[in-house]
């Protein structure tokens, strides 16, 4: 075997292993890769390919399962080791990454032969993947792909809360790899000439999917910009003018919103529980030359005291608004987690309110599509907390249809933004504490 083929085999072997680890241990693809020593030892390019194999397999999981069900006489037995994951990865490469069939099938068969349980299924792997290569895109005809690629628990929720048409539009938006949204501390300036991409109504640039690796893009290493989904820029803007004000950024890491606040002239205190994630926030501040005070603390700890002109709470959530970027999430989360997180968000919001000065602003946000983590949170808060009122969101920089009559903002992955299509699903509400 050539050294390129040996590398290719190693990446596929790891992909089959991590596909399973990710679901079994409920780890995002990013965390599964960063927690695996062999994956970390790969060259940057191989690691990027590994990530693409996993993300593509999860993005199209429902339709891949349906295609395999058609081609297999019966489900593979439990003792077939990674054989099924090898097949899933094979279909992903043949139908969605359009890789050369000969190499895909050869490496899949080698991968099966290298495992003592999957070994007995290497002939089956060969036969099934040959059929997939021969059938090509025709195998997808007639499949209801948005429905298949959305697990029941999420489909039912979205139909209930957004209606059948919008649920379908959301699921369709998840089929595409998202672009890269870039924020600039001092405005976009000449960066469009350098980076290309589309100018968004909020002054960001959006590069299409398939751009170069982020560290290799001009201006990244020098700290001229940072990455932030267009929807994620909304909560800070809802705080209004922050120049010279004291801002408490709760649940701040890795710091997209901290950078945005610091770049707008706020005196920011950034709080997060996770030292590891705060390390990324520190690195982001260092790279961009922006300043914030960093505090490693639990938002729920009563020792965190004081009063700030403005408080931002970007609560931990199910993150179902980010499925375009993290297509594995539907298979790692469940309803019980949504309920548990909603309870945590309720307690955090109460703490955040106590830390807001009379007359000050409080913004609550979450990157979730689930109403328990957004609309219901704020309805409950307003009912329990008489000293706060909602400040209705407005501005022509908001995506069309995102500002709701209740005064809050709801974005969906299916929304257009200026000339661009799609954004993360976010909820954000601005509240004022009465003086």
Ligand X SMILES: C[S@@+](CC[C@H](N)C(=O)[O-])C[C@H]1O[C@@H](n2cnc3c(N)ncnc32)[C@H](O)[C@@H]1O
Q: From the annotation, which residues make up the binding site for S-adenosyl-L-methionine?
A: 251-257, 272, 298, 314
Q: In the bound complex, what is the minimum distance in angstroms from residue 397's beta carbon to ligand X?
A: 18
According to CB under 6 A, which residues from 140 to 159 bind ligand X?
Answer: none
Cα–Cα distance, 157 to 21 (Å, whole number):
27
Cα–Cα distance, 389 to 121 (Å, whole number):
63
Segment near ligand X (CB under 6 A); pick from 149-157, 295-303, 368-376, 401-409: 295-303
Strands 225-227 and 246-250: unpaired
b/e 132-160 (16+ beta carbons within 10 angstroms → b) = bbebeeebbeeeebbebbbeeebbebbee
Q: How many residues does the chain have?
A: 435
Segment near ligand X (CB under 6 A); pick from 22-30, 95-103, 266-274, 370-378: 266-274
Query: Using CB atoms, what's the residue nearest to ligand X?
Result: 251
**CB nearer to ligand X: pick between 252 and 268:** 252
Segment near ligand X (CB under 6 A); pick from 86-94, 204-212, 249-257, 325-333: 249-257
Q: In the bound complex, what is the minimum distance in angstroms from residue 61's beta carbon to ligand X?
A: 24
| DSSP letter for each residue of 60-125 | THHHHHHHHHHH-SSPPPGGGTTHHHHHHHHHIIIIIS---HHHHHHHHHHHHHTSTTGGGGHHHH
**CB nearer to ligand X: pick between 146 and 255:** 255
How far separated are the first and last CA of the chain, in Å rounded?
74
Is 365 catalytic? The answer is no
10 Å CB burial of residue 4 (0-12, 13-18, 19+) is exposed
300 lies in the binding site for ligand X (CB under 6 A): yes
299 lies in the binding site for ligand X (CB under 6 A): yes
Q: Which of 298, 340, 384, 419 lies at the binding interface for ligand X (CB under 6 A)?
A: 298
Q: Which of 217, 251, 332, 393 lies at the binding interface for ligand X (CB under 6 A)?
A: 251
253 lies in the binding site for ligand X (CB under 6 A): yes
**CB nearer to ligand X: pick between 50 and 271:** 271
254 lies in the binding site for ligand X (CB under 6 A): yes
Q: In the bound complex, what is the minimum distance in angstroms from residue 316's beta carbon to ligand X?
A: 4
Q: In the bound complex, what is the minimum distance in angstroms from residue 352's beta carbon to ligand X?
A: 11
Segment near ligand X (CB under 6 A); pick from 34-42, 65-73, 272-280, 326-334: 272-280
According to CB under 6 A, which residues from 309 to 348 bind ligand X?
Answer: 314, 316
Give every CB contact of residue 411 below 8 A, 6+ residues apart in sequence: 231, 234, 321, 399, 402, 423, 424, 425, 426
**CB nearer to ligand X: pick between 104 and 428:** 428
Binding mask 15-34 for ligand X (x = CB under 6 A): --------------------
Q: Are 266 and 243 in contact (CB under 8 A)?
A: yes
296 lies in the binding site for ligand X (CB under 6 A): no
Q: Which of 23, 71, 198, 273 lies at the binding interface for ligand X (CB under 6 A)?
A: 273
Q: Residue count at the site for ligand X (CB under 6 A)?
A: 17
Q: Are 326 and 361 in contact (CB under 8 A)?
A: no
399 lies in the binding site for ligand X (CB under 6 A): no
H or E segment to which residue 183 belongs: strand 180-184
Q: Which of 8, 90, 255, 321 lies at the binding interface for ligand X (CB under 6 A)?
A: 255
Strand, coil or helix: 228:
coil
282 lies in the binding site for ligand X (CB under 6 A): no
Separation of CA 250 from chain center: 19
Q: Which of 277, 379, 404, 432 lies at the binding interface for ligand X (CB under 6 A)?
A: 277
Cα–Cα distance, 373 to 353 (Å, whole number):
17
Give every CB contact of residue 419 below 8 A, 6+ residues apart in sequence: 198
Give how far Cα 97 sits from Cα of 90, 101, 172, 376, Å: 10, 11, 18, 40
**CB nearer to ligand X: pick between 236 and 412:** 236
Query: What is the Rg, in whole angstroms, of the alpha carbon atoms belonging to the chain?
Result: 23
Q: In the bound complex, what is the minimum distance in angstroms from residue 273's beta carbon to ligand X?
A: 4
Per-residue HEC secondary structure of 196-209 comes to CCEECCCCCEEECC
Segment near ligand X (CB under 6 A); pick from 95-103, 201-209, 292-300, 392-400: 292-300
Contact residues toward ligand X (CB under 6 A) are 251-257, 271-274, 277, 298-300, 314, 316
Catalytic residues: 367
């Amino acid at each position: 075997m050539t050294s390129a083929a040996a590398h290719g085999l190693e990446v596929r072997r790891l992909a089959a292993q991590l596909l399973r680890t990710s679901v079994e241990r409920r780890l995002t693809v990013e965390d599964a890769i960063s927690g695996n020593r062999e994956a970390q030892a790969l060259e940057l390019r191989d690691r990027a390919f590994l990530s693409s194999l996993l993300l593509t397999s999860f993005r199209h999981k429902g339709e891949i399962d349906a295609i395999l069900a058609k081609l297999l006489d019966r489900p593979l037995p439990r003792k077939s080791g990674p054989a099924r994951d090898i097949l899933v990865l094979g279909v992903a490469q043949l139908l969605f990454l359009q890789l050369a069939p000969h190499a895909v099938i050869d490496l899949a068969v080698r991968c099966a032969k290298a495992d003592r349980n999957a070994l007995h299924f290497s002939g089956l792997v060969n036969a099934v993947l040959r059929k997939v290569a021969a059938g090509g895109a025709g195998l997808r005809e007639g499949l209801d792909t948005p429905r298949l690629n959305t697990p029941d628990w999420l489909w039912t929720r979205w139909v209930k809360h957004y209606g059948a048409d919008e649920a379908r539009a959301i699921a369709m938006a998840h089929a595409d790899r998202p672009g890269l949204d870039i924020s600039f501390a001092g405005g976009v300036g000449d960066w469009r000439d350098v980076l290309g991409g589309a100018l968004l109504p909020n002054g960001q640039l959006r590069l299409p999917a398939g751009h170069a690796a982020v560290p290799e893009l001009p201006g990244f290493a020098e700290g001229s910009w940072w990455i932030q989904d267009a929807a994620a820029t909304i909560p800070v803007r809802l705080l209004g003018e922050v120049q010279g004000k004291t801002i408490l950024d709760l649940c701040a890491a890795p710091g997209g919103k901290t950078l945005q606040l610091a770049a707008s002239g706020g005196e920011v205190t950034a709080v997060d529980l996770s030292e590891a994630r705060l390390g990324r926030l520190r690195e982001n501040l260092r790279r961009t030359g922006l300043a914030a005070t960093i505090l490693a603390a639990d938002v729920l700890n009563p020792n965190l005291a004081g009063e700030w002109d403005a408080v931002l709470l970007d609560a931990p959530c199910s993150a179902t608004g980010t499925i375009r970027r993290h297509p594995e999430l539907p298979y790692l989360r469940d309803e019980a987690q949504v309920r548990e997180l909603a309870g945590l968000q309720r307690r955090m919001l109460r703490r955040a309110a106590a830390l807001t000065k009379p007359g000050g602003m409080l913004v609550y946000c979450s990157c979730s599509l689930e109403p328990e983590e957004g609309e219901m949170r704020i309805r409950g808060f307003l009912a329990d907390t008489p000293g706060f009122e909602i400040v209705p969101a407005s501005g022509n920089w908001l995506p069309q249809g995102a500002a709701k009559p209740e005064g809050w903002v709801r974005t969906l992955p299916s929304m257009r933004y200026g000339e661009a299509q799609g954004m993360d699903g976010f909820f954000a509400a601005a509240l004022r504490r009465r003086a």
